[in-house]
Structure 1
């Protein structure tokens, strides 16, 4: 199962270089410098007009995975997902429980059991409680504001059972929303009969989430991959245009 999960392709949407971005209604922009350079090889006559090419690259993928006690039944599978993302994409991986740990380097190995062992050894609060607001604040302060999350697709994998008060979760999610291109929330407990995220940390986070999926099975992880590939469907309040 974990080896299959590692093969799931987590491709993000393209990000267009702002210097070469053009609207769908405008004509291609002339690249004056390259046109002049081409003319120098033809006696000064601009026999060929050179236009700017649309530069694109995939958006960075950020994965934040809850490894608290309540998420323990799912931890191995989701860490395999993180491991596969690091191997195939421009991705950064973090785990959190009562604190946040960057895990990109530890997961950059081929063997899934070795990756899990390195992940568990990297933190002292494995299978502990969940400080969701504290962990998101740590990420935003230490990495997000330095550009890691700016314009990125951020995936949070958590059941939302947090020790923080909902107001703190709301505040930190709002900060992250202003940086990220899209926020995908993966909650394996969403599949439960009569599940309703109406209270607590999960309810506080949802207003800032673009896609809310379960990822509870291998088939459901395809929905996660589709959400990561998607473009932003609608503008959020206080969200900058990118």
Structure 2
């Protein structure tokens, strides 16, 4: 037993590194708690062993499938570096969880480099195919390297909104409106003779953009990627306001204006306490309407509501959700609901929250890959219909 304890500790540390590379927040605290839990169980019982590690290393429901897959791989396969003589029970043929691909990359450490002396050949057609595949791939199914490439592509997107006329005018040589005051003032320099008519042109300006992004457990993976899009938009244009909501509403506009994305996201993480927790969409929208709508929804603002619409409250919460969504729609020029659930071809609004919100928004669009974000950019750069209704594209 004296020689088995160091081997167990070493394998436990390796298992923690595997989970961390796969995206689970496993640090020294979880490793120490796991080692302490193993002291109070029967090590030879595989079920107790797995339950002890899962109870100390898994904090979120969506991380449980990845942990189970990692446990089967690490504590079973001797070639993976696990303990010798482990149970070699074959896993079932069920489809892998969404994070299985990241887990495989974390286990193998990426593809091996080519042998020395072997020439590398680049196929242009395959390069284009890989780029197209990346643009159409679901964020949830991406591996670690593909997520990094997707974030780089997203940061290149700009969001031009159609310019709207304002009440202001400015001097312009070919303006449509005559500036009598400037014309008379200029005539005084010519002894009262009017030699040229001064003209004015109406000033146009893009409307404000307001983003409300759901960061609950079901939206956590998408919210992490979309934050890069919000950071790029916030630094590319003025009059952008960004809010995150789960169980509470947080304004992150000031933090996202930092030029360095890593520094901006670190500041966001310090002020957002409810990441990947529960969701209260109606309460968050109601709070936004009461505290922020008059400040940020002026001059024909466009609102992007990013959520899956899975409101789990009772009848009172659904009524509150409907009233808050209706007031938000009436307070802006264009309310666009971005829903990752639209990635499914057979999507049907079965959830009560989705049924309440769907008739109250101007547009309902998917947001699950780079192509959907590009389509959103093209839509926002075009002028909407005079009386927009519910639209799904």
Q: TM-score, normalised by structure 1?
A: 0.87
Q: Distance in 2 between matches of 1:50 and 1:133?
A: 53
Q: Give the match's secondary structure for 1:55.
A: strand
1:127 and 2:273 correspond: no
- In the alignment, is the contact (CA less than 8 A) between 1:133 and 1:169 conserved in 2? yes
Q: Which secondary structure does the structure 2 equivalent of 1:109 belong to?
A: coil
SS at match of 1:77: helix
| Counterpart-to-counterpart distance in 1, 2:280 and 2:256 | 23
Distance 1:236 1:166 in 2: 24
Q: Any conservation in 2 of the 1:14–1:56 contact (CA below 8 Å)? A: yes
Match for residue 212 of structure 1 among 364, 370, 374 = 364
Q: Structure 1 residues 230, 201: CA separation in 2 closer, same or farther (over 3 Å shift)?
A: farther
Query: What is the match of residue 114 of structure 1?
Result: 263
Larger CA Rg, structure 1 vs 2 = 2
Identify the range of structure 1 (104-113 vs 189-198) with the bigger mean alpha-carbon deviation. 104-113
Mapped partners of 1:149, 1:163: distance in 2: 28
Matches within 5 A, 1:81-160: 81-90=229-238, 91-146=240-295, 148-150=296-298, 151-160=300-309
TM-score, with structure 2 as normaliser: 0.55
Where structure 2 has 5 or more consecutive residues not aligned to the other structure, the ranges are 1-149, 170-174
Q: Which has the higher contact order (CA 8 A, sep 6+)?
A: 1
Matched residues in 1 for 2:361 and 2:229: separation?
A: 20
Structure 1 stretches of 5 or more lacking a match? Answer: 21-26, 238-242
Q: Which residue does the alignment assign to 2:214?
A: 66
Matched, 1:197 2:349: yes
Structure holding more helix per residue: 2
1:240 paired residue number: none
Cα pair 2:167 2:202 within 8 Å, conserved? no
Does 205-214 or 93-102 show the bigger shift?
205-214
Give the aligned length: 230
RMSD: 2.0
1:50 aligns with 2:198: yes
Matched, 1:13 2:13: no
Gap change, CA 1:205 and 1:41, over 3 Å in 2: farther
